[in-house]
């Protein structure tokens, strides 16, 4: 149970409550830790109970506060119960982070209906239903919603067609919600990482018979990012320092989408 915790010099989230999905590992865990070390009371969610419990232990070891719930983020009733539990535990909601996601590579014609439905459920349904449940509470606090999109939502990628579809949906979810609530006090933005060194990417398999040259444009030239890279950006975007940002899709991809 090891991880790197990068802390800031301030406590930008004292007296604030943050909900983070996918908090059991990777980017979600790094975000939960970062926000907690800056004073937020964190409510984490994941489908995997043991890794989520590890994140809670790490937060508490860092003198932070975190509660959690285990469940399937693709279900609307689970998303509503998640937000209800968070507000019941802490009395409010200031930051909602849609981080949970899955990915896979395969030839498009080989994608099964079950795999298609599962990726849509986790990557699109989950963020949509969490947003539905969270926005009324964010309106009450003048809070912020941050979605984790991907460079895959901004460019075409061979062999990850369905994943690209889901992340493109998150880009448009973010922009459309930003317009619907443009005259309110809440802020809605997204972060679009490229490859980040997490269990999602280390466990990522590619069919052996693909044309590798088609994957060069989105493989990048500077290696993989770290979960802490994204957590640092998330914390800034969720803070009052980013008050000017609404409807933004911010790339953090080591130049992958630069050209």
Known catalytic residues?
A: 163
Is residue 193 a contact partner of residue 253, using CB atoms and an 8 Å limit? yes
Phi first, then psi, for residue 136 (nearest 5°) are -55, -35
Which of 258, 234, 254 is CA-nearest to residue 245? 234
> 66 - beta bridge partners?
42
The residue assigned the tokens 């949509």 is 128
Tokens (6 digits) for 163? 């994943």
Are 54 and 61 contacting, i.e. CB atoms less than 8 angstroms apart? Answer: no
What CA–CA distances, in Å, run from 129 to 53, 125, 157, 226? 24, 6, 27, 28
Task: Scan for tokens 């008050």, then name that residue.
Answer: 243
Virtual CA dihedral for 154, 157, 159, 164, nearest 10 degrees?
10
Q: Determine how many CB atoms are found less than 10 A away from the CB of residue 259.
A: 5
**CA–CA dist 181, 39 (Å, integer):** 27
Query: What radius of gyration do the chain's Cα atoms show?
Result: 17
């Amino acid at each position: 149970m090891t991880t790197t915790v990068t802390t800031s010099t301030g406590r930008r989230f004292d007296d604030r409550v943050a909900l983070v999905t996918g908090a059991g590992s990777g980017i979600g865990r790094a975000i939960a830790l970062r926000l907690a070390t800056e004073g937020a009371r964190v409510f984490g969610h994941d489908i995997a109970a043991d890794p989520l419990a590890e994140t809670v232990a790490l937060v508490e070891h860092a003198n932070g506060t975190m509660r959690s719930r285990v469940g399937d983020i693709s279900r609307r009733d689970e998303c509503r119960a998640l937000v209800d539990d968070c507000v019941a535990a802490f009395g409010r909601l200031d930051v909602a982070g849609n981080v949970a996601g899955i990915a896979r590579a395969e030839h498009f014609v080989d994608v099964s209906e079950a795999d298609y439905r599962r990726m849509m459920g986790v990557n699109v349904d989950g963020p949509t239903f969490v947003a539905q449940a969270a926005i009324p509470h964010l309106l009450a606090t003048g809070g912020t919603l941050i979605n984790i999109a991907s460079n895959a939502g901004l460019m075409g990628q061979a062999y990850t067609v369905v994943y690209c579809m889901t992340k493109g949906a998150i880009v448009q979810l973010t922009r459309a919600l930003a317009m619907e609530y443009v005259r309110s006090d809440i802020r809605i933005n997204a972060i679009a990482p490229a490859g980040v060194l997490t269990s999602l990417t280390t466990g990522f398999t590619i069919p052996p018979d693909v044309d590798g040259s088609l994957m060069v444009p989105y493989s990048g030239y500077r290696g993989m990012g770290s979960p802490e890279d994204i957590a640092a950006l998330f914390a800034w975007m969720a803070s009052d320092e980013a008050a000017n940002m609404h409807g933004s899709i911010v790339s953090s991809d080591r130049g992958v989408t630069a050209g």
